[in-house]
């Protein structure tokens, strides 16, 4: 007798990330350029050690860290986070109130809870084309429909967003649209950063369609990679736009820039939404592990966190440079990519004739050569308006060593040369 | 313009626990006998300090602890947890496979995900009368219906479970029934422990009705307070019953017995369900904070965890003794309670004429006297077959100091004497 699953239970697929991780585990010696894991050698072991030593060195600070906290999060961490965000954005501080900040178990949890709070099966979420595949998993499990907005080098094509909204309005589907999800900094998977102007333009556009939708259209800004910049300077978040506080949901994280093993993310939400998502958080786990929140509080307050960022930036800059160099050396001339200015990923475009999907000969040949990548098609939402492109790949330089990046890219290059030679037959 | 919330978003109420916590925060000097927080003085600060010092003392162990792990959990912690459970239960080890163990961000997260995996709006969950109120919040947010099963001193009334199933069968509602939720050890809120025989009998009964339901009827055993026993000896979990592996979902936790600030819970699930809940976990957060998992792994492996349990037992035994003594001294003779053998709670029954609900004169008078309790009615599911009892209270000795327990009970006793005198007017 098999279980009588709920609709969500039946819809929820194995996340591609689990499949990729299992594939990597089953093949010792495999070089994974697929995982979104962070750099191993630069993990702040000594820093975390010293901070926890201080924290647990006295019962006065140790006991509160080992006790339950509140559902919304540690007050000091909320304060420090609000301060930090306000410092990053040269804008009115009105949008950075600590009491609209919810600390979460990774920013992923925030994405999940926002989806739960806003979306019913059949609702529509606008996403970038391509976008973060785990968010696509959340959408799929909740029975949501998607529309992909084309992506330029500086973020979404605002014209295409407008066309899409217009077409949804014409078909009467606008009331089903709940939010626009953008990964705005060093995007997963393309590495691209959305300009502030485009974020502001997107917000304005959404506003124009609210009357037809009959409700607020939110911009969910996923800034997970914001602090992993290694070239250029930070740009303001969508929160810095006029009246953004009412329509922007900002998802941030301390996991990627500090330690992914200490899962702390956060969300800054418009007040009416904050209340609802905080209630949902109460049902999920009534609050994120206090020990880790206090570790991060201390890392922020002592300046250790800020000191760690340039260390990371140097490290990822070097690894990105190695990957870029290897791609130039080993990849055929027809292959295209742009060098990222932050984050963990290269987005590589093959000639359209070469399929890169998980059932493609290229993917099998890569696996046979002991190298794993994320097939580009996994990063596209199912959209009635287009077929999923199937000639791209996401390559991560986050976790692999420099030697493995060189070897992995050389192997992939060889496999690609072979596929291209065949395609030319 | 107010947000267009999802159905879940609209249904999700503020958890009573948030309201209780806020009430406590707003009134400095208030003695809270409401919070389910654990004892502050016995939190293992030195132990956690030493374990983290070892863990982060070397990059070899420190780096993996600060890196992402896998969605299902740290392999060593899963192994140690399976071993520990098998040792607790003198039964076949078949039901304790590490690969059916999912590590979660507190056992609360497991309860949430199991509900998501199995239940659609309108489905029915059988719970104890009374039961854990945060689980009622999860049910409510998912639009579920409940039936309360009466509780005897040694656990649910099996006869009432049978009557309830029979009546659901007669009314054709059995296909909506998905699970029976029992808090089997030192129950929240009553402090009662379910005998092994009753768990086995409940499982047998559920089995009998599966054919009419058309699907498996699961027993969700919430064993959160199992290791907080201070009188008597542990009894086997439902997993020790014949064929239990196919129908028992066991929810356990390391938070309450070790440190609530380190939120680590776990679930042992039947294989087909494990797969689904693990996928849902992938969407929630793709894995619980690795740093905390490795801290717990180490606490288990070194024996620190096992050593801490008798310390806790002595502490809670003393506090329970203080509360019992204070109740005898200050509470009117008509009031009834049983001394718990573990956990954190006394369940106090007033004469039926004295209402204890959050809008009752008693509750207001208690607040005015600076003492907070959990009104019993909050712990009852909405059930068409009976009205919610409204003359009970949950008193926690977990977090309050011995002095506060004495003072708090003395204040409550006075308020009660006054209410009873009025009721007798």
Over residues B84-113, the pLDDT tens digits come to 999 998 766 667 899 999 999 999 999 999
Q: Give A71's contacts in chain B (Cβ within 8 Å).
A: 15, 17-18, 21
Q: How many CB atoms lie within 10 A of CB A331?
A: 19
Kindly report which listed range (A285-289, A347-351, A404-408, B15-19) carries the lowest average pLDDT score: B15-19
pLDDT band per the 50, 70, 90 thresholds, residue A116: very high
Say whether pLDDT at A254 is over 60: yes
Interval A71-93: pLDDT, tens: 999 999 999 999 999 999 876 66
Residue with tokens 């009615």, as numbered in its chain: B377
Average pLDDT over residues A13-21: 79
Handedness of CA A333, A338, A339, A344 (dihedral sign): negative
Question: Residue A2 corresponds to which tokens in the numbers above?
Answer: 């098999």
Closest CA to A121 of A147, A145, A143, A146: A143
pLDDT band per the 50, 70, 90 thresholds, residue A53: very high
Question: Residue A185 corresponds to which tokens in the numbers above?
Answer: 């900094």
Residues sharing a CB contact under 8 Å with residue B19, sequence separation 6 or more, in sequence order = none
Closest CA to B368 of B33, B32, B30: B30
Interval B219-275: pLDDT, tens: 999 999 999 999 999 999 999 998 888 999 999 999 999 999 999 999 999 999 999
Q: What is the pLDDT of residue B292?
A: 97
Gap from B361 CA to chain A (nearest CA, Å): 28
Average pLDDT over residues A108-113: 98
Average pLDDT over residues A194-219: 97
Task: Indicate the burial class of B25 (C-beta count within 10 angstroms; 0-12, 13-18, 19 or more).
Answer: exposed
Q: Answer whether A262 sits within 8 Å of B291, measured CB to CB.
A: yes
pLDDT band per the 50, 70, 90 thresholds, residue B424: low
Residue of B nearest to A277 (CA): B9
Give the Cα-Cα-Cα angle A222, A225, A230 (nearest 5 degrees).
150
Terminal Cα-to-Cα distance of chain A (whole angstroms): 52
Q: What is the pLDDT of residue B93?
A: 63
Interval B13-44: pLDDT, tens: 987 777 777 777 778 889 999 988 889 999 99
Locate all alpha helices (DSSP H) within B262-401, ordered by sequence: 271-284, 290-301, 304-330, 361-368
* CA–CA gap between residue A218 and residue A199 (Å, rounded): 12
Say whether pLDDT at A425 is over 70: no
Contact A137, A163 (CB under 8 A): no
Gap from A235 CA to chain B (nearest CA, Å): 27
Q: Answer whether B291 sits within 8 Å of A261, measured CB to CB.
A: yes
Say whether pLDDT at A355 is over 70: yes
* CA–CA gap between residue A90 and residue A240 (Å, rounded): 7
Question: Residue A41 corresponds to which tokens in the numbers above?
Answer: 């050698």
Q: What is the pLDDT of residue A131?
A: 98
Q: Give B56's contacts in chain A (Cβ within 8 Å).
A: 45-46, 48-49, 52
A248-253 and A265-268 beta bridge pairing: antiparallel
Q: Answer whether A62 sits within 8 Å of B69, measured CB to CB.
A: no
Locate all alpha helices (DSSP H) within A193-268, ordered by sequence: 196-208, 210-213
Q: How many CB atoms lie within 10 A of CB B301?
A: 14
Contact A215, A207 (CB under 8 A): no
Phi/psi for B405 (5° steps) reads -60, -50
Q: What is the pLDDT of residue A93?
A: 63
Say whether pLDDT at B377 is over 60: yes
Residues sharing a CB contact under 8 Å with residue A423, sequence separation 6 or more, in sequence order = A351, A353, A354
How far is C-alpha B360 from the geometric centre of its chain's CA atoms? Answer: 26
Average pLDDT over residues B388-393: 97
Percent of chain A with pLDDT over 90: 89
Average pLDDT over residues B104-129: 98
Residues sharing a CB contact under 8 Å with residue B260, sequence separation 6 or more, in sequence order = A66, A67, A68, A290, B37, B38
Average pLDDT, chain B: 95
Gap from B66 CA to chain A (nearest CA, Å): 4
Question: Residue A15 corresponds to which tokens in the numbers above?
Answer: 């996340």
How far is C-alpha B239 from the geometric centre of its chain's CA atoms? Answer: 18
* CA–CA gap between residue A84 and residue A236 (Å, rounded): 12
DSSP 8-state code for residue B342: B
Helix (H, G, I), strand (E, B), or coil: what is residue B165?
helix
Q: Answer whether B282 sits within 8 Å of A1, measured CB to CB.
A: no
Q: What is the pLDDT of residue A35?
A: 83
Say whether pLDDT at B66 is over 90: yes
Q: Answer whether A6 sits within 8 Å of B118, measured CB to CB.
A: yes
* CA–CA gap between residue A256 and residue A42 (Å, rounded): 12
Average pLDDT over residues B127-136: 97
How far is C-alpha A342 from the geometric centre of its chain's CA atoms? Answer: 13
Phi/psi for A43 (5° steps) reads -60, 135
Say whether pLDDT at A394 is over 90: yes
Q: What is the pLDDT of residue A19?
A: 77
Phi/psi for A27 (5° steps) reads -125, 85
Helix (H, G, I), strand (E, B), or coil: what is residue B393?
strand
pLDDT band per the 50, 70, 90 thresholds, residue B338: very high
How far is C-alpha B206 from the geometric centre of its chain's CA atoms? Answer: 22
- ipTM of this predicted structure: 0.96
- Higher model confidence: residue A286 or residue A118? A118
Average pLDDT over residues B209-223: 97
Average pLDDT over residues A127-137: 97
* CA–CA gap between residue A282 and residue A272 (Å, rounded): 16
Q: Give A260's contacts in chain B (Cβ within 8 Å).
A: 66-68, 290
Question: Residue A55 corresponds to which tokens in the numbers above?
Answer: 């924290």
Strand order in the sheet with B248-253: B101-104, B265-268, B248-253, B218-222, B177-183, B124-129, B145-152, B155-156
Say whether pLDDT at B181 is over 90: yes
Q: What is the pLDDT of residue B57?
A: 97
Q: What is the pLDDT of residue A92?
A: 62
Q: Answer whether B44 sits within 8 Å of A66, measured CB to CB.
A: yes
Interval A296-329: pLDDT, tens: 999 999 999 999 999 999 999 999 999 999 999 9
Q: How many CB atoms lie within 10 A of CB A339?
A: 12
Residue with tokens 């309670």, as numbered in its chain: B337
Contact A372, A20 (CB under 8 A): yes
Contact A182, A111 (CB under 8 A): no
Gap from A39 CA to chain B (nearest CA, Å): 9
Closest CA to A125 of A188, A181, A203: A181
Q: Give B213's contacts in chain A (Cβ within 8 Å).
A: 4
pLDDT band per the 50, 70, 90 thresholds, residue A6: very high
Q: Any bridge partners for residue B396, and if so which?
A: B345
Q: Give A74's contacts in chain B (Cβ within 8 Å).
A: none
User: Left (φ > 0), alpha (ψ -120 to 50) or beta: where does A106 sit?
Assistant: left
Q: What is the pLDDT of residue B90?
A: 75
Task: Indicate the burial class of B24 (C-beta count within 10 angstroms; 0-12, 13-18, 19 or more).
Answer: middle
| DSSP per-residue string spanning A22-70 | HHHHHSTT-EES---PPPSTTS-HHHHHHHHHHHHSSHHHHHHHHS---
Say whether pLDDT at B425 is over 60: no
Q: What is the pLDDT of residue A83?
A: 93
Q: What is the pLDDT of residue B92?
A: 62
Average pLDDT, chain A: 95
* CA–CA gap between residue A209 and residue A136 (Å, rounded): 24
Locate all alpha helices (DSSP H) within B30-157, ordered by sequence: 45-56, 59-66, 75-88, 107-118, 133-141
Q: What is the pLDDT of residue A422?
A: 82
- Count residue pairs from A and B with Cβ separation < 8 A: 294
Gap from B342 CA to chain A (nearest CA, Å): 19
Task: Indicate the burial class of A90 (C-beta count within 10 angstroms; 0-12, 13-18, 19 or more).
Answer: exposed
Residue of A nearest to B119 (CA): A6
């Amino acid at each position: 007798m098999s279980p009588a699953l709920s609709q969500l239970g039946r819809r929820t697929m194995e996340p591609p990330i689990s499949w990729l991780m299992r594939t990597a585990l089953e093949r010792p010696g495999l070089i994974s350029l697929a995982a979104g894991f962070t750099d191993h050698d630069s993990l702040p072991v000594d820093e975390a050690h010293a901070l926890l030593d201080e924290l647990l060195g006295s019962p006065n600070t140790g006991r509160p860290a080992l006790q339950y906290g509140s559902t919304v999060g540690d007050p000091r961490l909320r304060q420090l986070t609000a301060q930090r965000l306000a410092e990053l954005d040269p804008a009115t501080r009105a949008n950075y109130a600590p009491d609209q900040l919810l600390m979460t178990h990774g920013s992923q949890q925030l994405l999940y809870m926002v989806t739960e709070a806003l979306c019913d099966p059949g609702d529509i979420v606008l996403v970038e084309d391509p976008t973060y595949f785990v968010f696509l998993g959340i959408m799929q499990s909740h029975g949501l429909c998607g529309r992909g907005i084309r992506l330029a080098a500086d973020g979404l094509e605002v014209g295409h967003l407008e066309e899409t909204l217009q077409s949804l309005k014409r078909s009467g589907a606008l009331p089903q649209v709940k939010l626009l999800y953008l990964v705005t900094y060093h995007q997963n998977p393309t590495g691209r950063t959305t300009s502030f102007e485009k974020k502001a333009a997107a917000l304005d556009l959404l506003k124009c369609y609210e009357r037809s939708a009959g409700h607020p259209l939110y911009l969910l800004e996923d800034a997970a990679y914001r602090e992993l910049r290694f070239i250029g300077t930070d740009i303001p978040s969508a929160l810095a736009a006029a009246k953004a506080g009412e329509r922007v949901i900002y998802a941030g994280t301390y996991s990627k820039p500090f330690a992914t093993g200490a899962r702390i993310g956060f969300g800054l939400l418009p007040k009416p939404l904050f209340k609802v998502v905080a209630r949902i958080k109460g049902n999920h786990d009534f609050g994120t592990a206090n020990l880790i929140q206090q570790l991060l509080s201390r890392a922020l307050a002592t300046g250790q966190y800020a000191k760690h960022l340039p260390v990371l930036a140097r490290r990822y800059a070097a690894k990105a440079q190695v990957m870029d160099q290897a791609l130039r050396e080993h990849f055929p001339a027809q292959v295209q990519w742009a060098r990222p200015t932050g984050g963990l990923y290269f987005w590589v475009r093959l000639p359209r004739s070469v399929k890169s999907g998980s059932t493609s000969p290229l993917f099998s040949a890569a696996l046979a050569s002991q190298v794993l990548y994320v097939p580009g098609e996994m990063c596209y939402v199912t959209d009635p308006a287009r077929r999923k492109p199937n000639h791209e790949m996401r390559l991560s330089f986050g976790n692999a060593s420099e030697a493995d990046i060189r070897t992995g890219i050389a192997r992939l290059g060889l496999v690609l040369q072979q596929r291209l030679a065949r395609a030319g037959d």
